[in-house]
Amino acid sequence: MCGRYTLLAEERDIQETFGLSDGISEYEPSYNVAPGQNVLSIIHDGKEKRGGYMRWGLVPSWAKDPKIGYKMINARSESAHEKPSFKSLMARKRCLIIADSFYEWQASQDGKQPKRIQTEDGSLFAFAGLWDKWQQGDEVLFTCTILTRDANTFMQDIHHRMPIILPKGKEADWIAPTVYRPEEAQAFLTSLTSVPLKAHNVSTYVNSAKHNDPECITPLTSN
């Protein structure tokens, strides 16, 4: 799964990396992005890419209670094309969720050790995501979820699941303004190659979503 991540890049770097022509309204870096917060996402509106914020935790358009979003921060890519909550979104509401690392907790006899995981070159990347619009009366929510897969060889010793990181050159394909059959979108995800990763231990300070400062990412002296 993916329950926390970081986004520390400069706004200009995000624009250049993902080909955004406009600025990002109210952009704020974060050392500890958590479920329920607004997260930077990119969609294609049929004319151009657009960057903006959605709440992390999917609330399907048909949901009666928006609190369901706290249970839907992740979606299993292996079955998303079959599930009522995600099937139509796989076809037409795909998004990028922008990050530069994510956290995972490795179980051990001494408890759970948080690790910060980055791409091998430390660059910006995009999680494969899905989004939806929920409305009840005057209340409108735009929300999203991160797609996950079985852990690759690198991640297997840390956790059995991992978020899907789109390889460079595949981000635009994922959000292309094309209506896929859900099975086609699932096949696209299955075809992706793994992005090389690296990791280091960080303090349990990051366990609290209230903490959002450099201490969250500071490497421990021993790994």
Question: Which residues are marked as active site?
Answer: 2, 104
The label of the residue with tokens 């460079």 reads 168
Q: Where are the beta strands (DSSP E) in the chain?
A: 4-7, 30-33, 38-44, 49-56, 74-76, 94-99, 101-108, 111-119, 125-136, 139-150, 161-163, 165-166, 197-201
CA–chain centroid gap for 172, Å, is 15
- Distances in Å between the Cα of 43 and the Cα atoms of 63, 132, 149 are 22, 11, 21
CB-count burial class (<10 Å; 0-12, 13-18, 19+) for 158: middle
